Chain A
Amino acid sequence: MRAVTITPSALTHLVEVASSRGATYADARTVEREHEAVSVKDGAVESVTRTADRGLGFRVIHKGAWGFAATDRADDAALRGLVDEAFRRAEASASVQRRTVTLAPIDPQRGEYRTQFARDPFAVPLAERIDHLRAVDAASVGPNIKTRRSSIAAYRTRKHLVTSEGTDVSQEIVEAGAGLSVLAVKAGRKPAPRYDSRLVRQAGWEYVEHLDLVARARRYRDDAEATLDAPLATEKPTTLVFAPEFLALLVHESCGHPTEADRLLEHEVAFAGTTFMWPEDRGKLRYGSPHVSMTADATVPGGMGTFGWDDDGVPAMRTKLIDKGTFVGYLTSRETAGALGVPVAIGSARAEGWQHFPIVRMVNVSLDPGTTPYADLLRGVDSGLLMEAPASYSLDDKRQNFHFSTQSARVIRDGQLDGYLRGVAFQSLTPDFWGRCDLVADDWELHGFLSCAKGEPLQLMRVGHGAAHARFRDVPIEVRE
């Protein structure tokens, strides 16, 4: 039962076998994933983990239908079984099918993509990583901080895709990141957490240093301590300024997901849901105010949704999703573009691992920056709240009705930050919410998510989101003790 490395020639052989058996399309994709993580809890090392996972996924279109099989074995019997199973599954699919699969055309691709980094995060000695985290932990200590956790992680993914159309591409993607959380607890008060698990970038160790985790730990500690004793907010329409970290999630949930084209085809209707942004709405639907433009871009340096090619073999592209408040575009795969009868505007077919069928996922979906400095944006607020980081979030199956709460709400008074409030949440409808945006600042920054959940079986995808501070007028907030 040994997992064996699959050679490039074996991939070519597999797609040739598929073609000889009548498949109109086939691809074979090896994926090797490595991950190292160190975590420290309350000053002590909580865990040191190194994971490895490698295997092969194989897709065919046969009789107009998909079949997919995946294995982490690579002996001859396993590979023969893989091909047989993929064809069996395609035949079974064809037995209950009203619409045959059509792939939007692309030119065959060849080449390599590698993440550029200064220092390999896997090469940083474990002792150095632990020392770094212990310094971060020490900075998190506070009079009411009951639990402190911090972690550093490195990820490497090697992929090789060969298709029956002549595509042969390989990629090595390296990511580095950190996690940080504190929980303030005091008798008679509601516990106040402050955390961020989205500090991750396609980069080397230099990104971990760039994060300045010690300073961030102090800030989180101070936010949690202050929130613990803060007065309860008052329910009323309020000017909300969102930090880029918060907006990254809002963009993800309320623009990224509803523009996934597989939702139009109801591929996700029973689980992830559909959308409120239909093809007939393109160019017409008022999604937000004229300040709101959003772009999907798989070429952003350092983005967690950046790659050379997606898992259909489509080269990295960028496309507009929202243009000055109007809905204009979708995230597509070759299959969904083919079904919609449009060219591939951006390749977004992605699989979490070798064992997963590629489906439409976000790449880097970002709110375009404005031109106003953040300080000027803030000066325009007489009375409002700065929403620094999301806590709970919940969306309906069309990505239209949403509810967010925040870990940290800071009071804005006459353009200045002045204390904290607690208990702040808001629910809204997507176009109504983005329609209230009256300014986007110029301090655009990139955030990374490791675990966007979608698909069956569940696939946790890496995606990137950029945003700047932005201001929203008269947002009704709700308050919970």
Chain B
Amino acid sequence: MTLLGADRLLAPLRQALRDVPADEADIHVHRRRAAITRYSHSSIHQNALSDETHATVRAIVGRAVGIVTTNSLEASDLRRALGDAASLANASRPDDEWPGVADPEPIPAFSAYHEETAATTAEAQAKWIGAVCAAVPMGMRAAGTAQVEVTEDAVATTRGVSAYAPTTMAYLRALVLSETYVGSGYAEDLSMRVDGLHPDAIAARAAEKCALDRDRVQLAPGDYEAVFEELAVAEVLRILSLTGLGGQAVREGRSFMTGRIGERVTGESFTLLDHAMDARTIAVPFDVEGTPKQKVTLVERGVARGPVYDRTSAKAMGTRSTGHAADPSRYAAGGHAGHLAMAGGPATREQLIASVQRGVLITRFHYTNTPDPRAATMTGTTRDGTFLIEDGKITRALANVRYTMSALDLFAGIDLLGPQRLARDWWSSNGMGSILCLVPPIKVRRATITGSSPL
């Protein structure tokens, strides 16, 4: 995708917003070039590139809101879309909670765009995969994904907001499976830059886990000490975010924070921010309403400090938007905490494992969900590297286990924290309600295992 840049992308938006047939209006444009190469059995089986543009226009007439989307960036088409949105608003009813479109505010200087990454070719992606496959030892095979995304986002409002930002994202994952026994290992790199991907190292980490993952035994249900690696912690944070960190969830009584802001909700070792402007993550510095993204302390040393807000939930709760409105076609309204940063610590992986008397090591989860949203309870099965730790050492490979527990109870038992790295949970890695996390591995005193998959 050739970048249009701020001037070319914003010009038709500003033009369309002149003489708009409504009391106020805003336009959000998202352009995206996604190149995804998938491989299995050490062979590429899917290689796709899509190049798409989506403009979402909102027209407000007497506090009634109409929303229309189009693929076009022509000013005349955007004006037509605004007219259609105004017609919808005219036929609708006033929304007493409508907060008005955003006023201009200074957008933080922040770039998550890397020129060389944007220029990545299909050949380069295939070479990463070739390098992974070549590095996998005999008797193992590899599967996974190489992905490069380039985006441009822009927002303009009738009150004068004019915001623009590009991003890049590079991602490589490898699942290594044994040819001779039931066992697998997994590793990935995620970065704003292609030079943050290390195919050989990914292959080595995944293969090392696969080599350990043989002769599995089943673990009896019960409470165990545990080491959660980064991807496993990211999965727990996802549940916390989707169930409890948005202003609307707090307002409606669905969040663990409802009625508990300022109270201790989990252990002192747990601090969580939403921090889109951390240089290590990938973010647009404003939300889809054009509000700059704020750094928000969600939980501080175990005490609930408050959720993130979009303009509507902020108005309803008597506060200001924190810049966390998200695309309504993909996220629930009311504020989306999508750039989490969980405080880490100095512990190495070896120290985390060495601190466990008898417990489990969890690499990642598969298809998690929440049977009790108010308690931020997560259930899910582990995959691609679940091990028994005894006397500070990994001693056995385990069949995948089902884990079911409140995130708050899990984090109440943190003993040790490792350093943060950028990671996504299983769902987000595929674009489902995307949440990026700066997340540490942790050792906890108690993780509840409720079942085991067959060997």
Cβ of B89: which chain A residues have Cβ within 8 Å of it?
Answer: 48
Structural contact, B52 and A458, CB atoms closer than 8 A: no
Known: A47-B65, A50-B68, A51-B69. A183 touches B252 (CB 8 A): yes
Structural contact, A44 and B370, CB atoms closer than 8 A: no
Bound together, the chains give a CA A49 to CA B122 distance in angstroms of: 37
Structural contact, A400 and B453, CB atoms closer than 8 A: yes
Q: Which of B327-359 contact A (CB under 8 A)?
A: 328-329, 333
Nearest A-chain residue to B251, judged by Cβ:
A147
Task: Please encode chain A, from 51 to 93, with 1 for each CB lying within 8 Å of some chain B CB and 0 for all others.
Answer: 1111101000000011111111100000000000100111111
Nearest B-chain residue to A87, judged by Cβ:
B122
Structural contact, B122 and A88, CB atoms closer than 8 A: yes
Q: Give the segment of A10-18, A152-160, A263-271, A362-370 that binds chain B.
A: A263-271
Is B103 part of the binding interface, using a Cβ–Cβ cutoff of 8 Å?
A: no
Q: Give the segment of A213-221, A390-398, A413-421 that binds chain B.
A: A390-398
Among B39, B48, B66, contact of A68 (Cβ-Cβ < 8 Å): B48
Among A65, A72, A458, contact of B47 (Cβ-Cβ < 8 Å): A65
Among B145, B366, B370, contact of A456 (Cβ-Cβ < 8 Å): B145
Structural contact, B51 and A72, CB atoms closer than 8 A: yes
Which interface residue of A1, A53, A97, A425 has the most chain B CB atoms within 10 A? Answer: A1
Structural contact, A1 and B73, CB atoms closer than 8 A: yes
Nearest B-chain residue to A273, judged by Cβ:
B366
Bound together, the chains give a CA A54 to CA B71 distance in angstroms of: 7
Known: A72-B51, A401-B381. A99 touches B43 (CB 8 A): yes
Is A239 part of the binding interface, using a Cβ–Cβ cutoff of 8 Å?
A: no
Is B431 part of the binding interface, using a Cβ–Cβ cutoff of 8 Å?
A: yes
Bound together, the chains give a CA A441 to CA B402 distance in angstroms of: 32
Is B264 part of the binding interface, using a Cβ–Cβ cutoff of 8 Å?
A: no
Among B73, B74, B122, B379, contact of A394 (Cβ-Cβ < 8 Å): B379
Known: A51-B329, A69-B48, A95-B123. A270 touches B145 (CB 8 A): yes
Known: A48-B66, A456-B430. A266 touches B40 (CB 8 A): yes
Structural contact, A69 and B49, CB atoms closer than 8 A: yes
Known: A45-B92, A48-B66. A356 touches B47 (CB 8 A): no
Q: Which of A411-438 contact B (CB under 8 A)?
A: 425, 427, 429
Q: Which of B160-185 contact A (CB under 8 A)?
A: 173-175, 177
Bound together, the chains give a CA A191 to CA B291 distance in angstroms of: 32
Nearest B-chain residue to A97, judged by Cβ:
B43
Bound together, the chains give a CA A46 to CA B98 distance in angstroms of: 9
Is B209 part of the binding interface, using a Cβ–Cβ cutoff of 8 Å?
A: no
B24 to chain A, nearest CB (A): 16
Which interface residue of A126, A183, A266, A396 has the most chain B CB atoms within 10 A? Answer: A396
Structural contact, A270 and B175, CB atoms closer than 8 A: yes
Task: Please encode chain B, from 376 to 415, with 1 for each CB lying within 8 Å of some chain A CB and 0 for all others.
Answer: 0101110100000000000000001010100000000000
Cβ of B319: which chain A residues have Cβ within 8 Å of it?
Answer: none
Cβ of A89: which chain B residues have Cβ within 8 Å of it?
Answer: 37, 47-49, 122
Known: A53-B69, A183-B254. A401 touches B37 (CB 8 A): no
Is A190 part of the binding interface, using a Cβ–Cβ cutoff of 8 Å?
A: yes
Known: A89-B122, A456-B145, A458-B431. A2 touches B77 (CB 8 A): yes
Nearest B-chain residue to A32, judged by Cβ:
B71
A339 to chain B, nearest CB (A): 10
Structural contact, A271 and B430, CB atoms closer than 8 A: yes
Cβ of B72: which chain A residues have Cβ within 8 Å of it?
Answer: 1-3
Q: Which of B55-114 contact A (CB under 8 A)?
A: 64-74, 77, 84-85, 88-89, 91-97
Task: Please encode chain B, from 422 to 455, with 1 for each CB lying within 8 Å of some chain A CB and 0 for all others.
Answer: 0000100111100000000000000000111110
Is A130 part of the binding interface, using a Cβ–Cβ cutoff of 8 Å?
A: yes
Q: Give the segment of B125-133, B189-197, B223-231 that binds chain A.
A: B125-133
Q: Which of A237-281 contact B (CB under 8 A)?
A: 265-267, 269-271, 273
Is B42 part of the binding interface, using a Cβ–Cβ cutoff of 8 Å?
A: yes
Nearest B-chain residue to A257, judged by Cβ:
B367
Is B277 part of the binding interface, using a Cβ–Cβ cutoff of 8 Å?
A: no
Cβ of B374: which chain A residues have Cβ within 8 Å of it?
Answer: 190-191
Is A306 part of the binding interface, using a Cβ–Cβ cutoff of 8 Å?
A: no
Among B125, B186, B372, B402, contact of A190 (Cβ-Cβ < 8 Å): B372
Structural contact, B432 and A458, CB atoms closer than 8 A: yes
Among B43, B50, B94, contact of A70 (Cβ-Cβ < 8 Å): B50
Cβ of B73: which chain A residues have Cβ within 8 Å of it?
Answer: 1-2
Cβ of B37: which chain A residues have Cβ within 8 Å of it?
Answer: 89, 92-93
Bound together, the chains give a CA A356 to CA B429 distance in angstroms of: 17
Structural contact, A458 and B430, CB atoms closer than 8 A: yes
Is B36 part of the binding interface, using a Cβ–Cβ cutoff of 8 Å?
A: yes
Bound together, the chains give a CA A107 to CA B41 distance in angstroms of: 30
A232 to chain B, nearest CB (A): 13
Cβ of B65: which chain A residues have Cβ within 8 Å of it?
Answer: 47-48
Structural contact, A55 and B52, CB atoms closer than 8 A: yes
Q: Which of A133-161 contact B (CB under 8 A)?
A: 146-147
Is B253 part of the binding interface, using a Cβ–Cβ cutoff of 8 Å?
A: yes
Structural contact, A457 and B34, CB atoms closer than 8 A: yes
List 8 tightest A-B contacts by C-beta distance, closest first: A1-B73, A355-B50, A92-B126, A396-B381, A92-B122, A3-B71, A392-B371, A266-B40
What 16 new A-B contacts, CB under 8 Å, besides A191-B253, A266-B143, A396-B400?
A2-B77, A45-B92, A47-B328, A48-B66, A49-B67, A49-B328, A55-B71, A70-B52, A92-B47, A92-B121, A96-B43, A271-B426, A356-B48, A397-B367, A401-B402, A453-B432
Interface residues of chain B, those whose CB is within 8 Å of chain A, are: 4, 12, 34, 36-54, 64-74, 77, 84-85, 88-89, 91-97, 121-123, 125-126, 129-130, 133, 143-145, 147, 173-175, 177, 186, 252-254, 328-329, 333, 366-372, 374, 377, 379-381, 383, 400, 402, 404, 426, 429-432, 450-454
Interface residues of chain A, those whose CB is within 8 Å of chain B, are: 1-3, 38, 44-55, 57, 65-73, 85, 88-93, 95-99, 125-127, 130, 146-147, 183, 185, 190-191, 265-267, 269-271, 273, 355-357, 359, 391-398, 400-401, 403, 405, 425, 427, 429, 453, 455-458, 478, 480
